[in-house]
Amino acid sequence: MKSIVALAGGVGGARMSDGLAEVLPPGKLTVIVNTGDDFEHLGLNICPDLDTVCYTLAGLANSQLGWGREGDTWEALSTIGKLGGPSWFRLGDRDIGWHLERSRRLRRGQPLSRIMRDFCDIFEIASSVIPMSDDPLPTWVDTDQGELAFQEYFVKRQCHPRVKGFRFEGVERAKPAPGVLESIHTSEFVVICPSNPWVSIDPILSIPGVRQAVREKVVIAVSPIIGGKTVKGPAAKMYAELGIQPSALAVAHHYDDILTGFVIDREDENQASAVSDLGIEPYVCNTWMKTRRDRQELAKQLIEFGSKLVIQ
Amino acid sequence: MKSIVALAGGVGGARMSDGLAEVLPPGKLTVIVNTGDDFEHLGLNICPDLDTVCYTLAGLANSQLGWGREGDTWEALSTIGKLGGPSWFRLGDRDIGWHLERSRRLRRGQPLSRIMRDFCDIFEIASSVIPMSDDPLPTWVDTDQGELAFQEYFVKRQCHPRVKGFRFEGVERAKPAPGVLESIHTSEFVVICPSNPWVSIDPILSIPGVRQAVREKVVIAVSPIIGGKTVKGPAAKMYAELGIQPSALAVAHHYDDILTGFVIDREDENQASAVSDLGIEPYVCNTWMKTRRDRQELAKQLIEFGSKLVIQ
C-alpha cells in the first residue's frame, strides 16, 4: 500500500493525523505541517504546529490545552514571570528543553526538517512529520489594527482584531522541505486535515510547486467548520470578517481547484448537494473528534472514502 | 558607616559575601563579581559567578552543589539529554528561566549591570551586586592541551589539563561596569574574597582603572588556600602547575602590590611572619566556611580587622 499524505496545522491537524497513524500500517503516513506560525520568543525557535503534531503522535500532548506536553511543569516560566519577563506565551519546562535543543541545532545551520526527523525518531514516531519548508515563512495577518505577526494576533491579542487578509512573507522564494513533493507524488491520496484554511493550509499550498503536486492527486479535505462554527481557532471568525458566510460549503469553495472529495459533518448534511454541484464528491459522517476513538473512526472512513475515489 | 566592597568569584566569594551581608547593616555591602567565566550555552548567556552570588545572597542557592538553586527541577535538561543535546552543563528549570529572561534583555541591548540590579531588587537582595564589566571579557586557559575557553576547561574537562597561563580576552578595551570604581572610591575598605586568584580575582583587577582604585584603599584578602589546598576549585592545582608551591603565602605574594592585610587560617599560622615580612598585616582565624555561622563569624572578624587597619 502507498502512503497517505496529510496536510496539517495545529490541533485539528494533529488529531486527524493521530487517527490516521493509528489506523494505517506503521510508516504509511506522512504529515506535512504548516510552519507559518513559527516564531522566535525568548531566543527560542518555536514551531507550534509541528510540535502539536509531534507531541500528539508521540502520545505526549496535553489534550486539555491543545498545545504543550501533558504533565509538564512551569518552573522556568514562573521564574521569567517573577523577573518581569514575558510569560504570555505558555512554555512548560520539557517544552523549553525541546525548544532549546532545536534552536541550538538551527543556529548550527541544520535544516529544520532534519532536526524534526531526528526528534521524531527519538520519540518513536512511526509516521514521517515534515515541515512544509526549511525556509522561514512567517504568516502576517492584516487587520483593522495594522499588520500583525501571527502569534501577536493569535496568542497575545487572542484573535480580537478584525482580519483583512494574510501575507506569507518570502513565499515566492521558498522551497518545499526535502520529502514534501516526493511524498505527495508517491502518495495514494492527499488528506487536507480540518485545520484553518487561511493560516494553516494556504501557507503550505502557497509554496511554489506544492499546489501543483497536490492537484495531480486525489485530494480529500475534512471541513474544519461544523454548523457554521469551528471546533477550535478563528477560521469561522476569519471567513465572516472577510465577508464570506462561514460554512462547510465555504471551505469547499476555498479548495475547489484541488478537491476530489470533501468530508462534512452530519450537522451540515444539507450542504452535500451544493458541494456536489462544485464537482466535488461529498461524504457525510461525524467529524467532531472529541475522543481518540472519534479520530480513529473518522480516519477509517476517510481512508475508505479516499481509496474509493482513487479507484474511480 | 561607609560601605564595604567585596571582590568575588563563585562559591567562596558568594559565601564570604553572604557572611558580610548578614553582619553589616542592610545596603552596606557592594559585591563586584567576576564575569570572566560567563559563556553562551544553548543560546543562553550564563554568568556562573554572578548567579552563585545572587542565589546565595537571596537564600536560594543549592548549598550542596555550589551552583544552581536549591530544590530546582530538571525537566528541560532531561528533555535535552533525551534529544541527544548537550547536558554536561547542568541547568535546572528555574535557573533556565533566569537565564532566558537575562538573555532576552541582553539581546535587547540592556547592560548586564542594569539587568542584574533589577533581578536583585526583585529577589530582595539588599546588597549591591555589580558585574565587573558590561563588556564581554572571556577568560581563556592556556593548557598542555591548547588554549581552552574557561567552561570547557572547568566543567567539561574538569580541570584535568595542566595550566600554563591565562588570557582575559578584550581586557585592554574593557570598561568597569557603572558603580565599580565609584563604590571602591567611596568604600571603607576592600575585601578580596577567598576566590581563585588566577581566574576569579585577577580578571576583576585587570580591567583598566580597577587595580589603581583598589590600591588607594585598605585592602584585605582572605586566603582561598588552607594547608596548601583549596576548599573548592582548582586554585592550588593551578599554582602547582605554574611552578609555585601552593600556600596562603603564595596568595599573599600574588596580591602583594595591593594588600594591607591578609587573613589566613589557623592551620597556616606558621606563615604569618612571612606575610608580615611582605609588609602585609597578617590575621589568623578560622577561615573555613562550613556553616552559615562560620561565614558570619569570619565576616565579623574581617570587619573588625579591616576597620582597625583603616584607623592605623
For chains A and B, CB pairs below 8 A equal 108
Least Cα separation, residue B125 to chain A (angstroms): 13
Distance CA B126, CA B116 (A): 13
Task: Please give the angle made by the CA atoms of B66, B118 and B100, to the nearest 5 degrees.
Answer: 60
Measure the CA dihedral A127/A131/A132/A138, to 10°. 150
Residues of A in contact with B98 (CB under 8 A): 79, 83
Residues of B in contact with A86 (CB under 8 A): 104
Distance CA A264, CA A248 (A): 7
Interface of B with A (CB under 8 A): 42-44, 72-73, 75-80, 82-86, 92-94, 96-98, 100-101, 103-105, 107, 118-119, 122
Note the pLDDT tens digit of each residue in B102-124.
999 999 999 999 999 999 999 99
What is the extent of the structural domain holding A244? 4-65+112-139+174-311
Least Cα separation, residue A124 to chain B (angstroms): 12
A151 occurs within a structural domain:
no
Least Cα separation, residue B40 to chain A (angstroms): 11
How many separate domains does chain A show? 1
Mean of the per-residue pLDDT values for chain A? 96
Q: How confident is the model at residue B155 (pLDDT cuts 50, 70, 90)?
A: confident
B103–A42 CB contact, under 8 Å:
yes
Note the pLDDT tens digit of each residue in B264-295.
999 999 999 999 999 999 999 999 999 999 99
A70 occurs within a structural domain:
no
Q: How confident is the model at residue B41 (pLDDT cuts 50, 70, 90)?
A: very high
Least Cα separation, residue B229 to chain A (angstroms): 37
Least Cα separation, residue B55 to chain A (angstroms): 13
Q: How confident is the model at residue B77 (pLDDT cuts 50, 70, 90)?
A: very high
ipTM given for this complex: 0.93
Interface of A with B (CB under 8 A): 42-44, 72-73, 75-80, 82-86, 92-94, 96-98, 100-101, 103-105, 107, 118-119, 122
Distance CA B126, CA B124 (A): 6
B154 occurs within a structural domain:
no
A146 occurs within a structural domain:
no
Q: Which of B59, B17, B66, B53 has its CA nearest to residue B299?
A: B17
A41 occurs within a structural domain:
yes
CATH number of the domain residue A293 falls in: 3.40.50.10680
Q: Nearest chain A Cα to B85, which residue?
A: A101
B76–A76 CB contact, under 8 Å:
yes
Residues of B in contact with A124 (CB under 8 A): none
Q: What pLDDT shows up at residue A45?
A: 97
Distance CA B96, CA A101 (A): 13
Q: What pLDDT shows up at residue B193?
A: 98
Give the CA radius of gyration of chain B: 19
Q: What pLDDT shows up at residue A147?
A: 97
Query: Model pTM greater than 0.90?
Result: yes
Q: What pLDDT shows up at residue A107?
A: 97
Nearest to A43 among B76, B104, B119 (CB): B104
Does the pLDDT at position B137 exceed 80?
A: yes
Q: What pLDDT shows up at residue A121?
A: 97
CA distances from B304 to B189, B216, B294, B308, B311 (A): 11, 20, 15, 6, 11
Q: Which of B306, B210, B196, B204 has its CA nearest to residue B261?
A: B306
Q: How confident is the model at residue B232 (pLDDT cuts 50, 70, 90)?
A: confident
B155 occurs within a structural domain:
no
Q: Nearest chain A Cα to B118, which residue?
A: A83
Cα distance between the two ends of chain B: 17
Residues of A in contact with B84 (CB under 8 A): 101, 118, 122
Residues of A in contact with B94 (CB under 8 A): 75-76, 78-79
C-alpha cell at A254: 476555498
Q: What pLDDT shows up at residue A38?
A: 96
C-alpha cell at A50: 509541528
Give the residue carrying C-alpha cell 506535512: A32
Using an 8 Å Cβ cutoff, are A9 and A196 in contact? yes
Note the pLDDT tens digit of each residue in A165-215.
999 999 999 999 999 999 999 999 999 999 999 999 999 999 999 999 999
Least Cα separation, residue A275 to chain B (angstroms): 46
Q: Nearest chain B Cα to A79, which residue?
A: B97
Q: Nearest chain A Cα to B40, which residue?
A: A104
Q: What pLDDT shows up at residue A155?
A: 86
3-state helix, strand and coil shares in percent for chain A, rounded to the nearest 5: 45, 20, 35
Interface mutation target, options B62, B78, B98, B101, chain A, most CBs of A under 10 Å: B101
Q: What pLDDT shows up at residue A64?
A: 81
Cα distance between the two ends of chain A: 17
Q: Nearest chain A Cα to B117, which residue?
A: A83
Q: What pLDDT shows up at residue B225?
A: 96
Least Cα separation, residue A251 to chain B (angstroms): 39
Least Cα separation, residue A6 to chain B (angstroms): 25
Does the pLDDT at position B208 exceed 80?
A: yes
A103–B42 CB contact, under 8 Å:
yes
Residues of A in contact with B119 (CB under 8 A): 83
Mean of the per-residue pLDDT values for chain B? 96
B93–A104 CB contact, under 8 Å:
no
A99 occurs within a structural domain:
no
pLDDT tens digits in sequence order for chain A, 312 residues long: 799 999 999 899 999 999 999 999 999 999 999 999 999 999 999 999 999 999 999 999 987 887 899 999 999 999 999 999 999 889 999 999 999 999 999 999 999 999 999 999 999 999 999 999 999 999 999 999 999 999 889 988 999 999 999 999 999 999 999 999 999 999 999 999 999 999 999 999 999 999 999 999 999 999 999 999 998 889 999 999 999 999 999 999 999 999 999 999 999 999 999 999 999 999 999 999 999 999 999 999 999 999 999 998
A94 occurs within a structural domain:
no
Does the pLDDT at position B66 exceed 80?
A: no
Using an 8 Å Cβ cutoff, are A68 and B90 in contact? no
* DSSP string across A77-116: HHHHHHTT---SS---HHHHHHHHHHHHHHHTT--HHHHH
